[in-house]
């Protein structure tokens, strides 16, 4: 790469953004999202699959950004919550269904623990009252 090429602000932004793009590709293939090849026959379905994958990547990046803004990074705080940690913690938060009799089922959402409340607050999410 030549110096003049890098001095062009557009090319410089693209070059500086390359590590982020590479991390995104790795995250899509092996990391958080665990995307695997899908064999589809129609172009529209392929486009739909790619759209969903990239949308998931954008959502994951936004969640990561909000976590870092609210709770810091592992470089600044030893107890900072990473996105995989946050998602693992939130998997414990699920609806409970209690069968009363043959026709009646009661559904309850348990109260989140302190860590889950911290994560939900960082994401700007409020749970419905049940």
14-31 pLDDT, tens digit each = 545 556 655 665 565 555
Q: Provide mean pLDDT across the span 25-48.
A: 70
What is the number of alpha carbons within 13 Å of residue 129 lying toward its C-beta? 0
Higher per-residue confidence, 114 vs 53: 114
Q: Provide mean pLDDT across the span 53-61.
A: 86
Q: Is the pLDDT of residue 12 over 50?
A: no
pLDDT of residue 49: 81
pLDDT of residue 6: 46
Q: Is the pLDDT of residue 109 over 80?
A: yes
pLDDT of residue 5: 46
> What percent of the chain has pLDDT above 90?
33
pTM for this structure?
A: 0.66
The residue among 57, 109, 67 whose CA lies nearest residue 87 is: 67
pLDDT band at 40 (very low <50, low <70, confident <90, very high): confident
90-120 burial string, b = 16+ CB within 10 Å, else e?
beebeeeeeeeeeeeeeeeeeebeeebebbb
Q: Is the pLDDT of residue 69 over 90?
A: yes
């Amino acid at each position: 790469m030549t110096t003049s090429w890098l001095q062009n602000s557009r090319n410089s932004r693209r070059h500086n953004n390359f590590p982020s793009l590479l991390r995104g590709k790795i995250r899509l293939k092996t990391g958080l999202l665990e995307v695997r090849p899908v064999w589809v026959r129609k172009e529209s379905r392929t486009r739909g699959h790619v759209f969903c994958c990239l949308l998931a990547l954008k959502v994951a990046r936004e969640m990561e950004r909000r976590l870092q803004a609210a709770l810091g990074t592992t470089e600044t705080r030893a107890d900072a919550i990473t996105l995989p940690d946050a998602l693992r913690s939130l998997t414990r938060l699920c609806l409970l269904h209690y069968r009363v009799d043959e026709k009646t089922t009661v559904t309850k959402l348990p109260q989140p623990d302190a860590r889950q409340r911290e994560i939900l607050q960082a994401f700007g999410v409020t749970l419905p009252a049940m």
